[in-house]
Amino acid sequence: MSAPVRSHSGRVVLVTGSGRGIGRAMADAHADAGAAIAYLDHDAALAQEAAESAKARGVKAVAVSADVADYDSVAAAIEIATAALGPIDVLVNNAGISPKSGADKRRVDAFAMDPAEWRRVIDVNLTGAFNCTRVVLPSMRDLGRGRIVNVSSVAGRTYCDIVAVHYAASKAALIGFTKHLAGELGPLGITVNALAPGRIDTPLMRGTAPEANEAARMATPLRRLGTPEDVADTCLFLTSDQARFVTGQVIDVAGGWLLT
C-alpha cells in the first residue's frame, strides 16, 4: 500500500463491511494514511479483529457491529463510533451481499429467485448505503465538509453473467444514488463518488465457480483479477484533498474490463 504519509491525518473514517475483503483493505489504507477508523461489520468478531490490528499499529480505531439494512442498528453503531473517535467526515458504503446457489455456486436466475432474497439484497446493498449516509449527514453538514464513497460494481453499469439481477439492480441504483447526492450535497462541501470494481480477489468472489473467475480474468485487458488493494488505493484518492473537485463520478476499478 503506497498511501501518502499522513494524508488523512485528522479525518474520522467509517467503512461498512470492513471486517474482511475490499472493506478491510479500504479501512486499513485510511488507517495507514493517518485517519481514525471505525470498522463496521455485521460480524462483530471480524470488526474487532480488524480494529485490534489497527490499534497495534498505533491507529485510533473502534469496532462496531450493525445490520446496515436496519436504520436503528446503524444509528446505534455510529453513535458508539462517534463517541469514541469524533464526528464522521468520511463514509465508505461498502457492505454488500451477492447470494449464490447450488453446488456450482452460480447466480440464481430471475425466474427461480425467492422474493425474500430479492428484498434482502436490495435492503443490504442499497438501503444500507442510505441508512449509513442518513445518519452521518448531520455531522458532515455541521463540519462543512465530507467525503462519501459508495462501492457499486461493473455489474451496475452493464450486463454481467456471473451475478444475479438483484445484485445488479442494487449496484445500478447505487450509481443513481451517488449522482443525485453529489448534486444535492455539493453546496454543503460534501463530495459523493462511486467505485465500480470488476472481478476482485475476495472471499465473496471465491464463492463463484472457478471457471467463471477464469473467464473474467481472460476478459480483462490487464489479464489479472483485481486485488482489494487496487480498490483501496482508488478509494483513498477519492477521500483525499487531491480529489476536492471530484464529485458525482463513477470510477471503474476493473483492469479495463469495461472500456465503453
* Residue 71 is among the residues annotated as catalytic for this protein: no
The 8-class DSSP code of residue 101 comes to B
Sign of CA dihedral 252, 254, 259, 260: negative
Distances (CA, A) of 162 to 130, 199, 210, 230: 26, 10, 11, 21
Torsions phi, psi for 79 (to 5 deg): -60, -40
| Catalytic member of 39, 71, 159, 167 | 167
3 state SS of 240: coil
Cα–Cα distance for residue pair 205/199, rounded to 1 Å = 7
d(CA 53, CA 172): 34
Distances (CA, A) of 70 to 62, 117, 127, 244: 20, 16, 9, 31
Residue 53's CB is within 10 A of a number of other CB atoms, namely: 15
Beta bridge partner(s), residue 90 = 13, 147
Q: How far apart are CA 185 and CA 130, in angstroms?
A: 14
Handedness of CA 178, 133, 150, 114 (dihedral sign): negative
Q: Catalytic residues, which ones? A: 167
